[in-house]
Structure 1
Amino acid sequence: MDLGLKKKVAVVTGASVGIGLAVAEGFAAEGADVLLVARGKERVEAEAARIAADHGVKAAGISADVATAEGVAAIVEAARAEFGGADILINNAGTGSNETIMEAPDDKWQAYWDLHVMAAVRLARGIVPQMKARGGGAIIHNASICAVQPLWYEPIYNVTKAALMMFSKTLANEVIKDNIRVNTINPGLVLTPDWIKTAKQLTASSGGDWEGYLQGIADENAPIKRFASPQELANFFVFLCSDKASYSVGSTYFVDGGWLRTL
């Protein structure tokens, strides 16, 4: 299936590892050029070089902190300078939290607000004009099943991902007139390096069966009884940005192996 993505330019944040890296590679496999964004300069530049060599596309890596206005400005300028603008924006950068509402300080709330919400707001302000000049585009926000089905141990993550989902819907209504489609993906369990690292830490003193630990989480939460691979999730991102999804606007899609317990 030709997804119509050849020579499109995709900006992917949080792109040096896990879901973001799989998404960037998924676009490159379809012939799109990619700008990979992450905080770690060496890793993101190395992954960009590898993707360019593997897929015969133009790929660049930029070290930037999306949680800051300065970092976002650098990303917007890199998209313009390196590629002449962007057609696709994937707001993927983010991380889980661990706290209680009663104990979490204001600065932790603010840090996650900047990372999960203001990054998307600022990137929209910077990248949407580029998309308009190129005739349209697609924006995907990577939120979480926790935006609607919260986990007890990460209230800040739950709240800021819910806010991101509403921002996505509101932005979609504003920019569809410019032929820019905005949607949200809410993943469930995805086997990222962070999950593996955490599982190994938690099982180190009890035999080290980290795979069994993760299988227990999957058995408890996902009717499909397994984690998704980053590549499985990336396939959905790529499709949703393609010509084949041209009527998908302002929606939220759950890719969670059946974990969501509501309609």
Structure 2
Amino acid sequence: MDLGLRDKVAVITGGSIGIGLAVAEGLAAEGAHLVLAARQADRLQAEAERVAAQHGVRAVPVACDVATPEGAAEIIAAAESAFGGADILINNAGTGSNETIMEAPDEKWQSYWELHVMAAVRLARGLVPGMRRRGGGVILHNASICAVQPLWYEPIYNVTKAALMMFSKTLANEVIKDNIRVNCINPGLILTPDWKKTATQLTADTGGDWEGYLAGVAREHAPIDRFASPEELANFFVFLCSDKATYCVGSTYFVDGGMLKTV
């Protein structure tokens, strides 16, 4: 099936690993060119070169901190310089947290707000004008099931991802007149390197069975009884970017293996 993505330009934050890299691969397989942003320059460069060579597309790496105004500006400038703008923006960069509300300092709240919310705001402000010139576009926000079904140990993550979900909805209403479709995706359990790292650390003193630990997490939370691969989630991102999803506007989609407990 032709998804109408050939020669489109996609900006992806957190694009050198995990979900972001899987989305990059999925879009590149459909012929889309990429602007990949991440903090670790060496890994980013290597992955950009690999994906470009494998799929015959261009992939421009931008090593920066998207949580800063300067980082967002670098991404916007790179897309404009290399491609004259972008057709797709995937706001994916993010990370989990671990704190209590009573003990977390203001600085931690602010850092997550900058990463999960303001990065998306700044990139929208910078890239939407170019999307208008190009006749439209797609913006997707990678939030989390925790935006509506919080986990007790990461209140800052829960709150900022909820804010990202609301930003997605309000942005969608503002820019649909420009033929720019905005949607939000709330994943459940996705087997990213971060999950593997955490599970390895938690089981280091009890035999190191990180796979068994994650199997227990899946049993507890997901009726499907397993984690998804980043590629499974990326398939949904690619669909929402495509011309097969032209009536999908301002919605939040759960890709969670049944983890959400409400209707």
What is residue 39 of structure 1 aligned with on the other side?
Answer: 39
1:160-175 correspondence runs (5 A): 160-175=160-175
2:243 aligned partner, one-letter code: D
Deviations 1:73-96 (A, max 9, x none): 000000000111100000000000
CA distance in 1: counterparts of 2:144 and 2:231, whole angstroms: 17
**DSSP-derived class of the 1:90 partner:** strand
- Mapped to 2, the partners of 1:43 and 1:83 lie a distance apart of 23
Provide the residue aligned with 2:73 in structure 1.
73
Partner SS state of residue 12, structure 2: strand
Runs of 4+ in 1 over 2 A off after TM superposition: none
SS of match in other structure, 2:203: helix
- 1:218-241 per-position Cα deviation (integer Å, ceiling 9, x unaligned): 011000000000000000000001
Give the letter aligned to residue 83 of structure 1: F
SS at match of 2:181: strand
TM-score under structure 1 length normalisation: 0.99
Shift of 1:60: 1.1
- Give the Å deviation of 1:183: 0.1
Match of 2:137 in 1: 137
SS of structure 2 residue aligned to 1:47: helix
How many residues in Structure 1 have an aligned counterpart in Structure 2? 263
Q: Return 5+ residue gaps in structure 2 as ranges.
A: none
CA distance, structure 1, for counterparts of residue 180 and residue 72 of structure 2: 20
How far apart are residue 250 of structure 1 and its match?
A: 0.1
* TM-score normalised over the length of structure 2: 0.99
Q: Distance in 2 between matches of 1:4 and 1:206?
A: 50
Aligned counterparts of 1:189 and 1:208: Cα–Cα separation in 2 = 20
Superposition map of 1:108-119 within 5 A: 108-119=108-119
Q: What is the CA–CA distance in structure 2 between the aligned matches of 1:121 and 1:99, rounded to whole Å?
A: 25
Q: How many angstroms apart in 1 are the aligned matches of 2:129 and 2:64? A: 20
Aligned pairs for 1:90-101 within 5 A:
90-101=90-101
Counterpart AA for 1:196: K
Q: Deviations over 1:15-47 (max 9, x none)?
A: 100000000010000000011100111111111
Partners of 1:42 and 1:83 lie apart in 2 by 23
Aligned-residue Cα RMSD (Å) equals 0.4
Question: Kindly, what percent of the aligned residue pairs are identical?
Answer: 78
Look up the match of 1:190: 190
